[in-house]
Chain A
Amino acid sequence: MSDESDPLRDLGKQLPYDRPDPARRDAVRSSLLVAASEGRRPGARSRWLLVGGGFAAGALAAAAIAMIVVRTPAPTAPAAREAVATIESSSAAELQRSTVTTPTGSDELVRVRSGTIRLAMPTVRTGDHVRLQTGDAEVEGSGAYEVVVAADALASVTVSTGTATVRLKGQQQAVFLAAGETWRPTVITAELEVPPAKPDVVATAAVDPASPTAASLSAASPSSSSSSSPSRVAASSSPSPTAASPSRTTVTPSSLPATRPRVVTPSSATTSPPQVVAPVEAATAPRPAVTAPIEPTPPVVTGTSPTESSFRAGYALLRDNKFAAAALELGKAADGAGPLAADARYFQAVALTKAGRAADAERALVQFIDRAATSVRRGRAVVMLARLLAARGDAASARAWFEDALRDADASVVAAARAGITALN
């Protein structure tokens, strides 16, 4: 029977079907997660729920009648309850926090104009609301989540525990996020060309030029794979240079180099419109033409420490165009110490850029620039960061970083920076 049915099977597999576009799929996904979280918890349903529901309905009806009959006078200036949200913010964050009492509980509003904010909510009682508001969106969640705001526009929301709902102004459909998920505004950017890297670190151990590792590393050129046809990268906004740095584990503002451009200032945040989404400018602006006069050479790694092993594995993956896996491995190496770790952060940023994870790439670049202020790769990292910022429409920040790169000792970096500024003009 199977022999007879094979042609039929082949024919059947050609039947078209209704494949949803990303917008439809995301809408269904959000709706599904909302439905799953709204009281419809998994588990065996009990018939006692019906009985309990009946009693509850009766109780509600009685309560409603009681409220109508015995109308109590309006409360006179009730004291606002203590804020229920625990907030951590970057030192550069600009926010205001207020709590008002509502008939059903409290409404805590956290108005953020820039910076990185982490909110953690213990149990929020029914009727209480904790909302985070930016110029273009509102986020409400339970549990813990991190929000990045740049120029009064929501740049990303990352939920670590619980859930969060993102409502954008002018859009009816809210975006629902579960733990472990990140929301970013989608913009289409121009092709991102990764500038090459130069050797920075040489391990002290002996190097066998014929070894596969050395050969693969020297052949592995992040920029060589960047010469592909222009790709549309769904980039995200991301932490601006000042907004991304305040990670508790990595950078403190005091460690930043003196020449670091401050691209998001309170004044600019309040006077300039949100610049998160600018697909037209990003798509039409001429892309800075960065050539690669110097063949990138990675650090020669021959040791066996975890950092070195991760670096070697990550670089090999990068060479094989397995960008996501490369970013993971290089991230492990970057968590180590020393110049190799700093270089790993740089190449992780390259991998992330290639993988289309612009926000994470920006974050990695900012970390690299902060950690390796004297690295010869710094200029290239600055140009990469500036291009990512330009690609997502943050022209002011991009210009500041391009101008910073003009002081680099590498002529190719300076040329790339000039080209970037020209493109912005």
Chain B
Amino acid sequence: MSAAKPNPAPGGQIVPLRGLDERRSALSEISDEALLASCGVGDSAALGALFDRHHDAVYRLVSRLLRGEPAETDDLVQTTFLEAWKSAHTYGGRGSVKSFLFGIAANTARRHFRSTRRRRAAYADWPEPPRSGTPDEAAVRAQQVARLAAALDELPLDLRTAYVLCDLEDLPGVEAARVLGIRAGTLWRRLHDARRALRDAIEGGTR
């Protein structure tokens, strides 16, 4: 075949490879806040880096709030990051970027929950948790986890969100209240109610 040999580009605009390596390296070292700020000015690479960094936590949060089908969870996670991309300019630096994402994820899940209202599957089909200790202890533990999962599913979404954010994701209460747009007192009340209901469910099952 005849191979065309193009002329070298005068004043080429192509970034040399070394620059790319540095950029990738810089992306891995840049702070969450800077990544979000870059999202705010349309840098999609920053969005990709933010996704790489936080997708696991967002997946965990979404799937514990709404135990849906994998495709449903994927959609909610994607919506979360897309909302973060669109509203990056609203991030005021209060709280961490992870909290910011969690707030969006929680609100996205709430909207989705209200729009679907479909019955969740029974918790019996939750995968068995990892075992530890003696077989008896492990069996008891597994039962407790299964009971907790079932009780969590029965909780109203507001209480569930408070419990998942504060107890499972270790978000400070004040920050959780802020990202949910509620007062701190309201959050503590919900958290208290959630814990009590869950504890009752677990202890009730053991009696």
B55 close to A33 (CB less than 8 A): no
Tell me the A40-76 residues at the B interface (CB within 8 Å).
Answer: 40-45
- Check if A96 is an interface residue, CB within 8 A of chain B: yes
Q: How far is the CB of A352 from chain B (nearest CB, A)?
A: 11
B12 close to A86 (CB less than 8 A): yes
B14 close to A18 (CB less than 8 A): no
A182 to B21, CA, bound (A): 10
- Check if B88 is an interface residue, CB within 8 A of chain A: yes
A18 close to B1 (CB less than 8 A): no
**Chain A, interface size: which category?**
35 or more
A180 close to B45 (CB less than 8 A): yes
B9 close to A11 (CB less than 8 A): no
Q: What are the residues of chain A within 8 A of B13 when measuring CB–CB?
A: 86, 120, 122, 144, 161
Main secondary structure on A side of the interface with B: mixed
Mark contacts of B71-94 with chain A using CB atoms, 8 A cut-off: 1 yes-contact digit, 0 otherwise. Answer: 001100110011001111100000
B59 close to A17 (CB less than 8 A): yes
A178 to B44, CA, bound (A): 6
B82 close to A43 (CB less than 8 A): no
Main secondary structure on B side of the interface with A: helix
A16 close to B25 (CB less than 8 A): no
A45 to B87, CA, bound (A): 10
A20 close to B70 (CB less than 8 A): yes
- Check if A247 is an interface residue, CB within 8 A of chain B: yes
Q: How far is the CB of B54 from chain A (nearest CB, A)?
A: 12
Considering the complex, give the chain A residue whose CB is closest to the CB of B41. Answer: A42
Mark contacts of A84-95 with chain B using CB atoms, 8 A cut-off: 1 yes-contact digit, 0 otherwise. Answer: 001111000111
Q: What are the residues of chain A within 8 A of B70 when measuring CB–CB?
A: 18, 20, 24
A9 close to B167 (CB less than 8 A): yes
Considering the complex, give the chain A residue whose CB is closest to the CB of B66. Answer: A18
Mark contacts of A25-45 with chain B using CB atoms, 8 A cut-off: 1 yes-contact digit, 0 otherwise. Answer: 101110111011100111111
- Check if B145 is an interface residue, CB within 8 A of chain A: yes
Q: What are the residues of chain B within 8 A of A8 when measuring CB–CB?
A: 148, 167, 195, 198-199, 202
Q: What are the residues of chain B within 8 A of A122 when measuring CB–CB?
A: 13
Considering the complex, give the chain B residue whose CB is closest to the CB of A249. Answer: B16
Q: How far is the CB of A358 from chain B (nearest CB, A)?
A: 15
A36 close to B47 (CB less than 8 A): yes
Count of residues in B whose CB is under 8 Å from the partner chain: 71
A96 close to B1 (CB less than 8 A): yes
- Check if B122 is an interface residue, CB within 8 A of chain A: no
Q: What are the residues of chain A within 8 A of B81 when measuring CB–CB?
A: 32
Q: What are the residues of chain B within 8 A of A29 when measuring CB–CB?
A: 48, 51-52, 55
A27 to B5, CA, bound (A): 36
Mark contacts of A171-195 with chain B using CB atoms, 8 A cut-off: 1 yes-contact digit, 0 otherwise. Answer: 0000000111110000000000000
A44 to B15, CA, bound (A): 31
A88 close to B8 (CB less than 8 A): yes
Known A28-B55, A86-B9; contact A181-B149, beta-carbon cutoff 8 A: no
Q: How far is the CB of A267 from chain B (nearest CB, A)?
A: 10
A94 close to B1 (CB less than 8 A): yes
B42 close to A32 (CB less than 8 A): no
Q: Can you list 13 pairs linking A and B with CB atoms under 8 Å apart?
A: A1-B192, A9-B167, A11-B145, A14-B141, A15-B149, A18-B63, A36-B44, A40-B86, A93-B3, A94-B3, A95-B4, A161-B13, A247-B16
Query: Nearest 3 pairs between A and B by C-beta?
Result: A160-B15, A18-B63, A178-B44
Apart from A29-B48, A41-B42, A42-B86, what 9 extra A-B contacts exist at CB < 8 Å? A4-B199, A11-B145, A12-B152, A14-B130, A36-B85, A42-B40, A95-B6, A178-B47, A180-B27
